Amino acid sequence: MPEVVGASKASNGKNKGGAYVDRDKPAQIRFSNISAAKAVADAIRTSLGPKGMDKMLVELSKAQDIEAGDGTTSVVVIAGALLDACSKLLQKGIHPTTISESFQKAVDKGVEVLTSMSQPVQLSDTETLLNSATTALCSKVVSQYSSLLAPMSVDAVMRVIDPSSATSVDLRDIKIVKKLGGTIDDCELIDGLVLTQRVVNSGVSRVEKAKIGLIQFCLSPPKTDMDNQIVVSDYAQMDRVLREERAYILNLVKQIKKAGCNVLLIQKSILRDALSDLALHFLNKMKIMVVKDIEREDIEFICKTIGTKPVAHIDQFTPEMLGTAELAEEVNLDGSGKLVKITGCTSPGKTVSIVVRGSNKLVIEEAERSIHDALCVVRCLVKKRALIAGGGAPEIELALRLAEYARVLGGMEAYCVRAYADALEVVPSTLAENAGLNPISTVTELRNRHAQGEKTAGINVRKGGISNILEELVVQPLLVSISALTLATETVRSILKIDDVVRSLPSLPLMISNQGLSA
């Protein structure tokens, strides 16, 4: 399958019939693609594990992030090792199709091995879920806060699903609100709605038994069309215009009050001011709390959380459109700003909010990414309720089992599957290297322990040796390992299929000028 860079062009190495004159070209193309992909994998290797450096994502790791949410570095490291194996197999003269089909057999067998060594998990087993979330947070910058962030992530997922029947988790039901100031210790999980927008009318900052309305129209005087102008020639006309504006806005505010609303959320408007000073004055007199500039993308979450319905016209503003909550208040965050919290919703829609705090943007963004990874790990356990050991244990077990499987096969397939098995040892080797251990002796000892039947023996980065990794509570969802293995193999097989690069023709004026002719 050629990798197309532009419009089709017959290369110098082909005759008119399209047959290759230069037989080495497909091999050269494959080696150049493999070298490029390996360079990325080698660059990312140093970020694997709790002792590794910070993450760097590529397209493959994005796919892993979408599927499992964790193992984004592992998938690239595995792909790099498999590409290295491919390069050596190609140099020995083995056909790319044979390598590709053998790798597919190896990954199918690998998924069977991983499934057989996994342990079933119940969503009611909170301790196991916490261990998985903590393991995911170990390799993050905010790992020292895992005792706070891991329980928060598990609680958040458990509140938005029905554990008895759930098969997946919609992470859009968990809203992460970033607020600058404080420390990560100040992060909190709130069963309700949190808004970063300020309360506009300072006179009303706390409302009990809140009846909340969400409007998508403006509380300001209507404007004329862009092409029209109104010219006021005397003060009497000006006074009449102002009286009409006042009556119009007062009527809007009275209808809002009549519906029983005491907390008003106003969607951001790009056409004109969503809220005029006069409207704010009337709302303040009627003791209605006002929060404006609600973003359009937040509307769905707000409606689901508090049970309100967005209102596009004042005629539709009725008591049935309002949501209800025990308390709506503006909270002061120790001098670092304010938040609006709406809690005690009477018809909660199984949503929660996580407030992430941090002293600067970098810390907040890293904390948000870490919480997202922990949420994804718990989501993986909801999708596929099984766990396996971490610390390189699955990869070394796979290497041993696939080497045994290779002996059953015959011919070139056996050779390719054996190469696939050897390539998987890159994960424990890299973990050992990044932890400051001797990779060769560590992997050799780990291989021996697994050969003796210790399936859960893995690299203990904290103690600097090999131990039963399950006893150390280093665990990960089965889905993470299966996804990493299958996606890495698919990527390598795709690269193997590329045997030519088709370059685009130069533009016509350039060709003419090169021939010394006037355009």
Which of 448, 419, 431, 519 has the alpha carbon at shortest distance from 82?
Answer: 419
Q: Quick: pLDDT tens for 193-220.
A: 999 888 887 778 888 888 999 988 888 8
pLDDT tens, position by position, 365-415:
999 988 988 898 888 888 888 888 888 889 999 999 999 999 998 889 999
Topology given in CATH for the domain delimited by 123-180+352-384: GROEL; domain 2 (3.30.260)
Q: 26-120+388-497 has which fold?
A: GROEL; domain 1 (1.10.560)
Domain 192-223+234-347, CATH homologous superfamily name and number: GroEL (3.50.7.10)
pLDDT at 47: 52
Residue type, 335: G
Beta strands in 82-227 (DSSP E): 119-120, 174-180, 188-190, 192-195, 206-215
Yes or no: say if 245 and 278 are a contact pair by the CB < 8 Å rule: yes
- pLDDT value for 104: 94
Strands (E) across 38-143 are located at 119-120
Residue with structure tokens 């759930």? 166
pLDDT in the model for residue 517 = 44
Q: Do domains 123-180+352-384 and 192-223+234-347 have the same CATH topology?
A: no
**Burial of 463 (C-beta count, 10 Å sphere; 0-12/13-18/19+):** exposed
Q: How many CB atoms lie within 10 A of CB 207?
A: 20
The pLDDT value given to residue 9: 41
395 three-state secondary structure: helix
pLDDT at residue 71, rounded to an integer: 67
Residue pLDDT tens, the chain, 519 long: 444 444 444 444 444 445 445 667 777 777 777 776 777 676 656 555 554 433 333 567 677 767 666 667 788 888 888 988 998 998 988 898 999 999 999 999 999 999 998 888 888 888 888 888 888 888 787 888 888 999 999 999 988 888 878 888 888 889 999 888 888 888 899 888 999 888 887 778 888 888 999 988 888 877 766 666 777 778 888 888 888 888 888 888 888 888 889 899 988 877 667 788 888 888 888 888 999 888 888 899 888 888 888 988 888 889 898 988 889 898 888 767 888 998 888 766 688 999 998 888 889 999 998 898 889 888 888 888 888 888 888 999 999 999 999 999 888 999 999 999 999 988 889 888 888 888 899 889 989 999 998 888 888 887 878 888 888 878 888 888 899 899 989 988 888 887 766 666 665 555 555 555 443
Q: Which residues of 325-339 are buried (b: 16+ CB within 10 A; e: fewer)?
A: beebbbeeeeeeeeb
Q: How far is CA 351 from CA 152, 166, 176, 306, 501, in A?
A: 14, 15, 11, 9, 50
Q: Kindly report the backbone phi and psi dihedral angles of residue 348, in degrees, each rounded to the nearest multiple of 5, phi listed first.
A: -65, 140
CA gap 488, 499 in Å, rounded: 19
| Spacing of C-alpha 89 from chain mean position | 36
Would you say 356 and 179 are in contact if contact means Cβ atoms under 8 Å apart? yes
Cα–Cα dist 396/256, whole Å: 66
Distant-in-sequence, close-in-space partners of 125: CB < 8 Å, separation ≥ 6: none
Those residues whose C-beta lies under 8 Å from the C-beta of residue 70, and which sit 6 or more positions away, are: 64, 136, 373, 376, 377, 380, 476, 477, 480
Residue 229 neighbours by CB under 8 Å, 6+ apart: none
- In this prediction, residue 58 carries a pLDDT of 55
Answer for the pair 416, 103: CB distance below 8 angstroms, yes or no: yes
Domain edges within the chain: 26-120+388-497, 123-180+352-384, 192-223+234-347
